[in-house]
Amino acid sequence: MKKIDEIRARNAEIIAINRDSVYAHKAWSENLGGVKFPLLSDMNLEVSKQFGMALEEVGITNRGVIVIDKEGTIAFKHVENAPPDNTLAVNQVLSELDKLN
Domain-wise residue ranges, the chain: 4-100
Phi, psi of 41 (to 5 degrees): -90, 115
Three-state SS for 64?
strand
In angstroms, the CA 31 to CA 100 distance is 34
pTM across the whole model: 0.78
CATH of 4-100, one of 3.30.450.20, 3.30.390.30, 1.20.1250.10, 3.40.30.10: 3.40.30.10
pLDDT tens across 20-72, in order? 999 999 999 999 999 989 999 999 999 999 999 998 899 888 888 999 988 88
pLDDT tens across 69-92, in order? 888 899 999 888 766 666 788 899
